[in-house]
């Protein structure tokens, strides 16, 4: 049977030749054949040169998810399973992951599996689906992960925003059914990172339950926390603060808008430091911007301020607003750092690149009238590898800054 063919407009083949895995609808000149959404299609240049092969979705502006640039490679469920197996094996062999049982097993396009995020938390796997393609081959993925790791539970999440984009604004019934998980009796799973342990809510936490991408950064920031008073903002379940305590922080104040997350942070403290003096771990449930402003006007100052906010922009139209938000939160953070102290600041907004993020921190330093040096640049952990062909996979930026005066 002849594979349907996507013919590109003249001059619109550059991204495909550069192996970018997303082909947008506005680059397509013609669809030859009558493919149904989810079918395999070949992509050719305007002159008819074969370029790539992928899976079509005519409901989305990302019309084709490209999967291979090898004309002899068959795109089917067996390819999906092979890529899942290879991705898991890479994590199991990664020396940087040897001391943890919480790791990202599959990272979407970076592992050749668009729309799949799979995270392991001890004997539980949490999978987040974000594309029609991923949902179509869900069962093949689940079978492969069960065969490889024999997990006690597999919990399924849907990336609602991406899936609505995939299906033209509304999920069909089959997709909704595909996102249903089997019941899990105990949604809390204890995981370890080196000598530290953390409770993870695999059923209802942010992302898949824990910020695995910050694993290495937690340890690097903690090195500046010995004997320090630490303000941990957007604390979530307190992981940065736990690392700070483990490295000898005198006191950690955790600020987050989620009371549930802060309650879990208390359990994490008990898990790691059962005899910790209560005054060394404080939680405050409040909006971060409001809380930092109030602390500044109350003349509070800290040796280390950690800012790890959520994504501030989901679309290009929100980038300017996000840059302003980064400048404001960093301005407030810088005002609270003692002279000679440390600001550790992060952005997980992929649409705000490292240059723009640094410019926001520069603007914050100017407005706060603080003299600031960058002493370390941070990125995402090794189980979140960056594909050279998919720069969007490089999303986490971090700066450790010394505030001189």
What CATH topology corresponds to 5-68?
Answer: 2.30.130
Question: Regarding the domain with residue range 211-403, which homologous superfamily does it belong to in the CATH classification?
Answer: Vaccinia Virus protein VP39 (3.40.50.150)
Catalytic (active site) residue 285: no
Of 266, 264, 292, nearest in space to 280 by CA: 266
In this prediction, residue 280 carries a pLDDT of 97
Encode pLDDT of 256-312 as tens digits. Answer: 999 999 999 999 999 999 999 999 999 999 999 999 999 999 999 999 999 999 888
Structure-block tokens of residue 176: 């909704």
| pLDDT value for 122 | 96
Query: Is the CA virtual torsion 157, 196, 305, 237 positive or negative?
Result: positive
Which pLDDT belongs to residue 385? 98
CATH T-level assignment (fold) for domain 77-178: Transcription Regulator spoIIAA (3.30.750)
The single residue of 124, 225, 348, 401 carrying the catalytic annotation is: 348
The DSSP H or E segment spanning 87 is helix 77-93
Mean pLDDT for all residues in the chain: 95
Predicted pLDDT at 168: 86
Q: Exposed/middle/buried for 134, CB within 10 Å: 0-12, 13-18, 19+?
A: buried
Measured in degrees and rounded to the nearest 5, phi and psi for residue 244 equal -60, -45
Joined tokens for residue 336? 């609270």
67 and 53 in contact (C-beta within 8 Å)? yes
Look at the block and give the residue holding tokens 């996507």: 6
Give the number of other Cβ atoms within 10 Å of residue 72's Cβ. Answer: 5
- Residue holding tokens 């995270």? 119
Kindly list the distances between the CA atom of residue 353 and the CA atoms of 62, 268, 347, in Å, as whole numbers in the listed order.
22, 33, 9
CB–CB of 225/255 below 8 Å? no
**Among candidate residues 336, 324, 397, 394, the one with its CA nearest the CA of residue 370:** 336
Q: Which residues of 245-272 are buried (b: 16+ CB within 10 A; e: fewer)?
A: bbbebebbbbbbbbeebbebbeebbeeb
Question: pLDDT value at position 125?
Answer: 96
| pLDDT at position 1 | 61
In which residue ranges of the chain is CATH 3.30.750.80 found? 77-178
Q: 């640094």: which residue's tokens? A: 358
Pinpoint the residues of the chain covered by CATH 2.30.130.10: 5-68
Please count the other Cβ atoms lying within 10 Å of the Cβ belonging to residue 329. 23
What are the distances in angstroms from CA 399 to CA 169, 192, 195, 217, 269?
37, 25, 25, 10, 26
Sign of CA dihedral 348, 350, 354, 355: negative
What are the residue ranges in the chain where pLDDT is below 50? none
Residues composing the chain:
405
Cα-based torsion angle of the residue sequence 59, 60, 63, 67 in order, rounded to the nearest 10 degrees: -110
């Amino acid at each position: 049977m002849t594979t349907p063919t996507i013919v590109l407009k003249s001059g619109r083949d550059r991204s495909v030749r550069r192996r970018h895995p997303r082909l947008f609808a506005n680059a397509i000149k013609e669809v030859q054949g009558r493919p149904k959404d989810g079918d395999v299609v070949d992509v050719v240049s305007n002159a008819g040169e074969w370029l790539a092969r992928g899976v079509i979705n005519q409901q989305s502006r990302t019309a084709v998810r490209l999967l291979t640039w090898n004309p002899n490679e068959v795109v089917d469920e067996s390819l999906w399973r092979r890529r899942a197996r290879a991705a898991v094996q890479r994590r199991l062999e990664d020396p940087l992951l040897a001391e943890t049982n919480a790791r990202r097993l599959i990272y979407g396009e970076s592992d050749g599996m668009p729309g799949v995020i799979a995270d392991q938390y001890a004997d539980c796997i949490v999978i987040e689906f974000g594309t029609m393609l991923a949902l179509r081959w869900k069962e093949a993925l689940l079978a492969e992960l069960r065969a490889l790791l024999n997990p006690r539970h597999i919990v399924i999440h849907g990336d609602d925003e991406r899936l609505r984009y995939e299906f033209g604004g509304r999920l069909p019934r089959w997709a909704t059914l595909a996102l249903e998980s089997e019941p899990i009796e105990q949604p809390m799973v204890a995981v370890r990172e080196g000598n530290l342990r953390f409770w993870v809510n695999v059923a209802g936490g942010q992302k898949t339950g824990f910020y695995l991408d910050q694993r290495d950064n937690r340890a690097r920031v903690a090195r500046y926390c010995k004997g320090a008073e630490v303000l941990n903002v957007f604390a979530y379940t307190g992981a940065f603060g736990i690392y700070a305590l483990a490295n000898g922080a005198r006191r950690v104040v955790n600020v987050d808008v989620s009371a549930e997350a802060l309650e879990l942070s208390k359990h994490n403290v008990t898990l790691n430091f059962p005899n910790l003096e209560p005054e060394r771990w404080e939680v405050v449930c409040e909006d971060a911007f409001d809380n930092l402003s109030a602390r500044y006007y109350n003349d509070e100052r800290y040796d280390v301020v950690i800012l790890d906010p959520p994504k501030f922009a989901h679309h290009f139209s929100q980038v300017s607003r996000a840059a302003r938000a980064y400048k404001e939160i960093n301005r407030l953070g810088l005002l609270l750092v003692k002279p000679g102290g440390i600001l550790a600041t992060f952005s997980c907004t992929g649409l705000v690149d490292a240059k723009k993020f640094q410019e926001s921190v520069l603007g914050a330093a100017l407005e706060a009238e603080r003299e600031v040096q960058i002493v370390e640049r941070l990125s995402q952990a090794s189980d979140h590898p960056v594909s050279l062909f998919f720069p969007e996979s490089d999303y986490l930026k971090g700066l450790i800054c010394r505030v001189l005066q």
